[in-house]
Structure 1
Amino acid sequence: MQANEKLSQLMQRGTDLLGSETAIMCGAMSWVSERNLVSAISNAGGFGVIACGAMTPDLLDTEILETKKRTTRPFGVNLITMHPDLMELIAICGKHQVSHVVLAGGLPPKGSLEAIKETGAKVICFAPAMALAKKFIRSGVDAIVIEGMEAGGHIGPVATSVLAQEILPQIADQVPVFVAGGIGTGEMIAAYLEMGASGVQLGTRFVCAHESIAHPDFKKAFIRGNARDAVTSVQVDPRLPVIPVRALKNKGTEEFTRKQIEVAKLLDAGEIEMGEAQLQIEHFWAGALRKAVIDGDVENGSVMAGQSVGMVKTEESVAEIIKSLTEEAIVALSR
């Protein structure tokens, strides 16, 4: 069998599920995974995913409309399970007949999976552990994403390679599984496909695409950065169960430590409740990320990046990125 045929065969479950030419999903990166990058990735044969993040239903409504103006190919919407308007956001996805909804950030609230299914969309869930993956499969999800700690943004505690070894042999025959976290080359894509994955998800690799609206200084920080620069945030107070965030080390990472101390003091004084404390932390990240991505303040903002950032060497088009990843995977499989 030719190596390109083998690649298509290994990705077939993934491409069948996504409706794309190649089973390469783009990670949902707040402020980055918006209409321009998402449509470009889908148009280039990959699968773009809108990062809803903290968007209101009205903002998501507009974003989906604008993405549909730019592509006729399938794309998904990533929704955060803790969003207070989750059910409204699901309804917006249904209104626009979005083909795939990706749920991230923990266990979906009661009724949310059913609500997505009723719209006719496929449901993809993040599973950072085997028990959760099995629970999602029992709940009827259509695919799983396993993401390791090498990824950028909010991360779990376990490495991608460990998750892949633990989870793929157990569930890859039941639902398509996409592997994410620290993937920067086609060789790595081929390796995970041969382990049983149906596809992969990459975020960091697409940040410096021409079609990405990230500020030029944000992109320059990626091109300069290496794996050791992408560090995880520190949790200051055990009462504030902050999900670690991986970003390039700068003054902003130090500012986050100060923010946690400030919020902890407010908790001590009884001035805020725990829910409000956690919300303040999340709002900090949203603002700090916007400061870096949109305003280009890469010193004080949050430059969220995965450890594969050292493999991002230049700015190029989405089509070039997908082409090089595919060609590298084919070469690897031909060996």
Structure 2
Amino acid sequence: MTREEARARLDALWKRGIEFLGCRVAIMGGAMSWVSERHLVAAISNAGGFGVIACGSMTPALLDAEIAGTRALTGRPFGVNLITMHPELDALIDVCLDHRVGHIVLAGGIPPGPAIRRIKDGGAKVVCFAPALALARKLVRSGADALVIEGAEAGGHIGPVSLTVLAQEILPHLRDVPVFVAGGLGRGEAILAYLEMGAAGCQLGTRFVCATESIAHPRFKQAFIRAAARDAVPTVQLDPAFPVIPVRALVNEGTKRFVAHQEAVIRRFRAGEISRDEAQLDIEHFWAGALRRAVIEGDVEHGSLMAGQSVGMVTREQPTAEIIAELVDQAVAALMARAAPAALSAAAE
């Protein structure tokens, strides 16, 4: 198999994803708060992938400016990730529709039916996260145009199941809409394997944190470059009576302080000094602003270093286009290497 034949085979494997996203390679950028802003999003789209703005807690006015800023940097398609629990979700959807954003990703919970209908009525595609096959089918019935299945290997807020298991559970049984895989992906060979299982494309976040175009603080990037896969771990929950939403991040002083903070708050609750609700709120507020402190201000000791386990494959700062080309080259090389023994066997016969 020649390189051209291998590339054609790869293009055929993720053709559905390419056609859905309207890009050259079916690689979506993961929406990372403070990182996935106009510069990185535009760079991913300009390199042939599909950048996605992380709206996070932005107001409608801020999102409006961010979409306009991204449009000024790229003429290629990109999407916007909205958090379903945002109090101004409808207004944020309207901002996206006013800008004719073609794809809106709904994250952070089960998307409300009215929100899905609002997006579709406005002419945009809806992408949802599916943590299990039953919910995946329900989301499709509700109108989702595509799904992302994200494994626990991912950075930030995570579910309990690995991508390896989710892919086996969902990909063979759901063909109605394109399904993109995410979580722990760092090389093209792995992307290829999931495409051959039926995925339409993939989503990567951690690999793009150290892109040259990423505005992440140099100290934040260095933390990623130095880290190994085992350094990215979920937050610890000390007492099931006070649930902690699992977030995968690099261990630092802030992580250790969070454990001590939980102990102190739970001790105060048991002593009758504060109510259960006050204790829960105190625990949840510990990380408020911590991601911005790390990404923007460079406080890598006390801020939140959200990272997926693929962080061990981040070894240097690279232009976004180089990262995407590297992933494609690895997938193409894997296809060529697989075909070589078959060609030799055929020649021997």
3-state SS of paired residue (1:304): coil
Matches within 5 A, 1:1-335: 2-171=5-174, 173-261=175-263, 265=268, 273=277, 277=280, 284-334=286-336, 335=338
3-state SS of paired residue (1:125): strand
Letter in 2 for 1:140: G
Is the 1:250–1:300 Cα contact (8 Å) retained in structure 2? yes
Letter in 1 for 2:63: L
> How far apart in 2 are the matches of 1:103 and 1:35?
19
> How far apart in 1 are the matches of 2:203 and 2:134?
21
Q: Which structure has the bigger radius of gyration?
A: 2
3-state SS of paired residue (1:21): coil
* Distance change >3 Å, CA 88–CA 239, structure 1 → 2: farther
Q: CA deviation at 1:284?
A: 4.1
3-state SS of paired residue (1:151): coil
3-state SS of paired residue (2:289): helix
> How far apart in 1 are the matches of 2:59 and 2:223?
30
> How far apart in 1 are the matches of 2:323 and 2:18?
18
> Normalised by the size of structure 2, how large is the TM-score?
0.90
Is the 1:143–1:177 Cα contact (8 Å) retained in structure 2? yes
**What do residues 17-57 of structure 1 show as CA deviations (whole Å, max 9, x unaligned)?**
10111000010001000000000100110000001111111
Is the 1:101–1:124 Cα contact (8 Å) retained in structure 2? yes
> Normalised by the size of structure 1, how large is the TM-score?
0.94
Letter in 1 for 2:326: S
Q: CA deviation at 1:263?
A: 5.8
> How far apart in 1 are the matches of 2:264 and 2:80?
34
Q: CA deviation at 1:167?
A: 0.6
**What do residues 189-212 of structure 1 show as CA deviations (whole Å, max 9, x unaligned)?**
100000100000000000000000
Is the 1:156–1:243 Cα contact (8 Å) retained in structure 2? no
Is the 1:209–1:316 Cα contact (8 Å) retained in structure 2? yes
**What do residues 212-258 of structure 1 show as CA deviations (whole Å, max 9, x unaligned)?**
00000111111100011111101233244332001111111123334
Is the 2:30–2:52 Cα contact (8 Å) retained in structure 1? yes
Q: How many residues align?
A: 332
3-state SS of paired residue (1:316): coil
Letter in 2 for 1:231: V
